[in-house]
Amino acid sequence: MKPLVTFDLWETLIFDPPGRTKQRGEYRLAIFERALHDLGYRQGWERIEKVWESCGELTVPEQIREWLQFAECKLELTPEVMATLERLYVKPFVEDPAGMLPGAMETVAAARDAGYTVGLISNTGRTPGRVLRDGMAEQGLLELFDFTMFSDEEVLRKPAAEIFHRAAKRAGVETGMHIGDHALYDIVGGRAAGWMTIWVTANGNDPEGQAADFVWPDIGSGASWFQNHGKAD
């Protein structure tokens, strides 16, 4: 059975330039508010037409109140409405995906070449795993992984030890080695699960009082690490 190594995604393999997250958030809010307004207008109009069909009438202020009632998120969340809102919610990332960090693909490929089962354990935030997986595929990164795990699909986030245990079970091993940039999510979480950890950080400080087994100054350092002394036994 091959040993397991898993990677974090955000700020370990992919990254956003400063300010990009804020820009996406503002864009997401704008298109979401517009969508809610449009959906509310349509549903409000349908209710007005039903009143007319029964020979009733609504004053203009009453019609406006109907529209506002739905525009203030009081929508009937049918599958069709939810599909529309979900599509718009992830649109900012789909249109402007995060870039890959230099050396990320080479390091993941080196882990495979060194004889490891290669997995990914990532918290998701506002972008679901299915969208992140598509983005990885477009960049040629997804094919290097034997499996990927995202917190929205597992309904569990790092640093919970259980998500690491699930990854080990998926790979058919007892434990593994996790690589990531976040002191709490990746290093403390991985060690709590009994895993070896590699902290990708430029400052080299001891994360949360839990020393990683190895420290890399950047993800690109991993390619030579696997080639020189990261071979799977």
pLDDT per residue as tens digits for the range 46-58: 776 777 577 665 6
Return d(Cα 67, Cα 29) in angstroms, integer. Answer: 20
What's the whole-number mean pLDDT along residues 93-103? 87
| Average pLDDT taken over every residue of the chain | 83
Higher pLDDT, 163 or 43: 163
Pick the range with the lowest mean pLDDT from 81-85, 108-112, 154-158, 168-172.
Answer: 81-85
> Is 181 within 8 Å of 8 (Cβ atoms)?
yes
How far is residue 82 CA from its own chain's centroid? 19
- How much helix, strand and coil, in percent to the nearest 5, is found in the chain? 55, 15, 35
The CATH T-level fold of domain 4-15+100-229 is Rossmann fold (3.40.50)
Tokens of 201: 């950080």
Return the domain boundaries, the chain: 4-15+100-229, 20-95
Give the pLDDT band of residue 167 (cuts 50, 70, 90): very high
Give the pLDDT band of residue 40 (cuts 50, 70, 90): low
Q: Which is it for the CA torsion 53, 57, 59, 62, positive or negative? A: negative
User: What percent of the chain has a predicted confidence (pLDDT) above 70?
Assistant: 78
Instruction: Name residues whose C-beta falls within 8 Å of residue 87's C-beta, 6 or more positions apart in sequence.
Output: none
The angle at the Cα of 195, spanning 144 to 184, to the nearest 5 degrees, equals: 90
Return d(Cα 198, Cα 182) in angstroms, integer. Answer: 10
Instruction: Give the predicted TM-score (pTM) of the model.
Output: 0.78
In the chain the beta strands, taken as DSSP E runs, fall at 4-7, 14-15, 99-100, 117-122, 147-150, 177-180, 196-200, 214-216
What's the whole-number mean pLDDT along residues 173-181? 96
Return d(Cα 15, Cα 12) in angstroms, integer. Answer: 7
